[in-house]
Amino acid sequence: MTTLDREETRATDGAREGGQARPLSLKVAAPMAIVAGLALLGAFPPYGLWPLAPVGVALLAAATHRRRLRAGAGLGFLTGVALFAPLLEWTNLHTGYLPWVLLSLLQAGYLALLGAATAWVTPLVQRHRWAWPVVTGLLWVGQEALRDRTPFGGFPWGRLAFSQDSSPLLPLAALGGAPLVTFAVALAGGLLVALGWRDWRHQAGQWRPVAGLLAALAVVLGAGSAVPVGVRGGGDRVTVAIVQGNVPRLGLDFNAQRQAVLNNHVDATLTLAAQVAAGAQRRPDLVVWPENSSDIDPLRNPGAGDRISQAADAIGAPILVGAVLLGPGVGQVRNAGLLWRPGSGADLDQLYTKRHPVPFAEYVPLRSIARKISAEVDRVRSDFVAGTSPGVLDPGPAVLGDVICFEVAYDGIVRDTVTGGAQLLVVQTNNATFDVAEARQQLAMVRLRAVEHGRSALMASTVGVSGFVTPDGRVDGATGFNTAAVVVRQMQLGDGRAVATRVGVWPELALAALAVAALAGAAVLRRRREDVPG
pLDDT one-digit tens code per residue, 453-491: 999 999 999 998 999 999 999 999 999 999 999 999 999
The pLDDT of residue 415 is above 70: yes
Instruction: Give the pLDDT confidence of 424-436 residue by residue, as tens digits.
Output: 999 999 998 888 9
Catalytic: 362?
no
pLDDT attached to residue 433: 85
**pLDDT band for position 162 (cuts 50, 70, 90):** very high
Catalytic: 508?
no
pLDDT attached to residue 213: 84
Q: Cα(first)–Cα(last) distance of the chain, in Å?
A: 4
If you average pLDDT over residues 494-510, what whole number do you get? 96
If you average pLDDT over residues 266-282, what whole number do you get? 97
pLDDT attached to residue 10: 45
The pLDDT of residue 375 is above 90: no
- Mean per-residue pLDDT of the chain: 90
- 240 beta partners: 286, 489
Instruction: Give the pLDDT confidence of 291-349 residue by residue, as tens digits.
Output: 999 999 999 999 999 999 999 999 999 999 999 999 888 888 999 999 999 999 999 99
405, 407, 438, 452: the catalytic one is: 405
- Dist CA 450 CA 170 (whole Å): 10
pLDDT attached to residue 98: 80
Q: Is 230 helix (H, G, I), strand (E, B) or coil?
A: coil
The pLDDT of residue 510 is above 90: yes
For residues 140 and 182, the answer to whether their CB atoms sit within 8 Å is: yes
Instruction: Give the pLDDT confidence of 351-361 residue by residue, as tens digits.
Output: 999 999 988 77
Nearest alpha-carbon partner for 153 in 337, 461, 363: 363
DSSP assigned state of 175: H
The pLDDT of residue 288 is above 70: yes
Question: Can you give the length of the chain in residues?
Answer: 534
Higher pLDDT among residues 93 and 393, named by residue: 393
Q: What is the 3-state secondary structure (H, E, C) of 441-477?
A: HHHHHHHHHHHHHCCCEEEEECCCCCEEECCCCCEEC
Read off the pTM: 0.92
For residues 493 and 424, the answer to whether their CB atoms sit within 8 Å is: yes
- Dist CA 396 CA 140 (whole Å): 42
C-alpha distances (whole Å) from 495 to each of 222, 233, 337, 399, 455 are 28, 5, 22, 10, 8
Phi and psi at residue 50, in whole multiples of 5°? Answer: -60, -30
8, 89, 144, 354: the catalytic one is: 354
∠ CA(428), CA(433), CA(435), 5° rounding? 90
Phi and psi at residue 235, in whole multiples of 5°? Answer: 130, -25
* Count of C-beta atoms within a 10 Å radius of residue 66: 23
387-422 burial, b at 16+ Cβ within 10 Å, e below that, comes to beebbbbbbebbbbbbbbbbbbbbbebbbbbbbeeb
7, 17, 89, 291: the catalytic one is: 291
Instruction: Give the pLDDT confidence of 169-192 residue by residue, as tens digits.
Output: 999 999 999 999 999 999 999 999
Catalytic: 7?
no
- Dist CA 316 CA 312 (whole Å): 6
If you average pLDDT over residues 36-61, what whole number do you get? 98
Nearest alpha-carbon partner for 117 in 105, 129, 128, 109: 109
Instruction: Give the pLDDT confidence of 232-256 residue by residue, as tens digits.
Output: 666 799 999 999 999 987 655 555 5
Instruction: Compute the Cα dihedral for 492, 494, 500, 504 and give only its sign.
Output: positive
The pLDDT of residue 2 is above 80: no
Q: Is 241 helix (H, G, I), strand (E, B) or coil?
A: strand
The pLDDT of residue 231 is above 90: no
